[in-house]
Amino acid sequence: MSSAGACLVSIWLGFLTASSSVAAPPPVFVEEDVLAVARGWAGGAVNEPSDVAMALDANGRPHLVFHVPRRAVYHARRTESGWQLEYVDSAVAVAAGQDTSLEFGTHCRIAFDGLDRAHVAYVQKRYKPVDVPSSAWKQIHYRSQTAAGFGVPWATRESTHPGIGFLNLGVELSLGVSPDGTRAHVVTNAAGSFPPVIYQERVGGLWSAPFSPAFPHTGQLQDLVVTPDGAAWISSNDGNSTGDVRVGRLQSEVWSVVLAGDSNINTNPDGRLARHGSSGDDLYLCFQARAGRVALRTRVNGEWRTLVTADDPGPVIPTFGRLRMASAPGGWTPWILSSRGTGGVGGGALLSASSTLATEQWSTIDVSNAIAMNGSTWIAVGAPNRVHVVYQVRDNSVGGTDGMQLRYAVLDGPVPPALDAAPPTAVSRNPLQLVPNIVRSGSPLSVRIVGSAGSDATLSVLDAAGREIRSRNVGTVAPAGTTLAWDVGVLESGVYWVRIRIGPYSAARRFVVLR
């Protein structure tokens, strides 16, 4: 569980357009808790999920894999009925002596192959190699589903460096799988001032040696993406405060590596990869740059080009934790998720690529006002540009003063009720209804709000550009809900949005005004 700091959760939406006069409806995130009630975890604490990662299956449903202190890994899936949860793996607790079960299952990662089977990787931080007295070593474990679906059997756990392990591992682990699921790839780094990169590939049921062939540069904060041709690409900083980010792939047992980004700062920047385009090996690379900004480059036809530099206009994005990036299906529309220096988590989307780069810049929108723990966040993008975000938040109502909760948010789409019963203070996961959603100018809006006792609600009307033009405090929402006729006055014809805020939750619905 990361404890480097708490933060406000927000997401940056980046537009690359040739004109600022094009209005778009404001994207709005709908939030919910993944675990609505406290659970007793197998051999661990209650409601302390951490080290979360996310991937989408072939139907666009989000799947999570996360660590439960001290010794368990769980898998969750979002369906129309709510969240489903299943156990993946755990270590047996040792009553005395060196307890190698502690911190089993950190650095969780998940990826899907083309047959819609989930593959997961995770770390055992207290590993005891053969004939070594200390249990302070590390091991990377791997499991995969034997068939598509949820609740299906998982293949036997494998260790990527069996019997040996690693003296130390970096703070990041990345996992990728080939489209047919026959190959899996992991990348991280070892310890030291100039840490060597650890890359391993699983072929024919066997894992390659960690440093053979050796990656030609030291580095930290690696990422990995598998392109449609099955090639694994990795990114890594140089690890020696040059500000450089390198990207490479292994071809015929030889690393082909290029300097893909230079942050122009004397530090070890975080860099993330995502696919660019529907086929081939074109890529996006985002990385921390100077002046608190996030730079963006793209690889097209083997050539790296700059899209967003540290000097481009737009808001400053002072990164504090890890960058995350995902692209929409087909490799278009990259979104970034990062952490602000004030402790916030945010992200952005590149909505359109343009050959005229002078007008490209980032804009921002919020995900949540929750107090989140940086370093345990993830982002995934499904069709059509449906953005999913998961993050770890402090929730003292479940588990005491250090209680933790996983919170999920989806952009601009209804989220059905959670599978678990909500706690007494929770809000309906679909709290706002407009019937009808087409009205005549000057006519009142018929708004229905669904909530719980003690929930204080505020309504706002936003124009198509996202500017708030009306606001109303509704007050306490009854458990059965509240229906009201809201006279918003005369509005010009066009598209508008009604937004509701209930505690830390928000949702919005679009409506059309006719003259």
* DSSP-assigned states of every residue in 49-70: -EEEEEEE-TT--EEEEEEETT
Q: Are 89 and 143 in contact (CB under 8 A)?
A: yes
* Best CA proximity match to 176, nearest among 336, 279, 53, 83: 53
Q: Is the pLDDT of residue 470 over 70?
A: yes
What are the distances in angstroms from CA 264 to CA 287, 288, 291, 328, 358?
Answer: 11, 10, 10, 29, 20
**pLDDT over 70 at 175, yes or no:** yes
Q: How far apart are the first and last CA of the chain?
A: 55
The structure tokens 């780069």 sit at: 357
Where would I find the beta strands (DSSP E) of 46-130?
Answer: 50-56, 62-68, 72-79, 82-90, 104-112, 118-127
Work out the average pLDDT over 417-431.
Answer: 34
Q: Tell me: pLDDT of 450 over 90.
A: no
Tokens of 373: 């723990």
Phi, psi values for residue 406, rounded to 5°: -95, 130
Sheet bearing 50-56, strands edge to edge: 50-56, 62-68, 72-79, 82-90
Q: What is the CB-side half-sphere exposure of residue 19 using CA atoms within 13 A?
A: 4
Q: What is the pLDDT of residue 151?
A: 93
Q: Could you give all domains of the chain from N- to C-terminal order, each with its CATH number? A: 6-411 (2.120.10.10), 432-514 (2.60.40.1930)
Using the structure block, give the residue that is written with the tokens 């006069």: 21
- What's the mean pLDDT when you consider all of the chain? 74
Nearest C-alpha neighbor of 108 from the set 402, 331, 411, 390: 390
Q: What pLDDT is recorded for position 28?
A: 65
Q: What is the pLDDT of residues 62-84, one digit of tens each?
A: 999 998 877 889 999 998 888 89
492 or 290: which carries more pLDDT confidence?
Answer: 492
Dist. CA 433–CA 277, nearest whole Å: 37
Q: Which one is predicted more confidently, 397 or 144?
A: 144
Residue 498 CB neighbour total at 10 angstroms: 22
pLDDT exceeds 70 at position 427 = no
Is 359's pLDDT higher than 50?
A: no
**In this predicted structure, what is the pLDDT of residue 268?**
81
Q: How far apart are CA 69 and CA 50, in angstroms?
A: 8
Cβ–Cβ under 8 Å, residues 181 and 204: no
pTM: 0.73
For residue 399, give both structure tokens.
């588990």
Higher per-residue pLDDT: 479 or 285: 285
Residue 116: pLDDT above 80? yes
pLDDT at 485 over 50: yes
For tokens 């006729």, what's the residue? Answer: 485
Q: 3: closest CA among 402, 504, 407, 409?
A: 402
Rounded mean pLDDT, 173-180: 94
Strand order, beta sheet including 223-226: 223-226, 232-237, 244-251, 254-262
Per mean pLDDT, which range of 24-38, 94-108, 344-358, 376-390 is the poorest?
Answer: 344-358
Local structure of residue 353 (DSSP, 8 states): -
Cα–Cα dist 50/32, whole Å: 16
Backbone dihedral angles phi then psi of residue 358, each to the nearest 5 degrees: -65, -20
Measure the CA–CA gap between 45 and 42, rounded to whole angstroms.
8
Q: Give the three-class secondary structure for 433.
A: strand
Return the top range by mean pLDDT from 16-30, 144-158, 289-303: 144-158
Q: Which two tokens stand for residue 470?
A: 């009306």
Beta strands in 422-465 (DSSP E): 432-434, 438-440, 445-449, 455-462
For β-strands 438-440 and 505-514, DSSP reports them as: parallel
Strand extents, DSSP E, 211-311: 223-226, 232-237, 244-251, 254-262, 271-275, 283-288, 294-300, 303-308
- Residue pair 144/120 in contact (Cβ under 8 Å)? The answer is yes
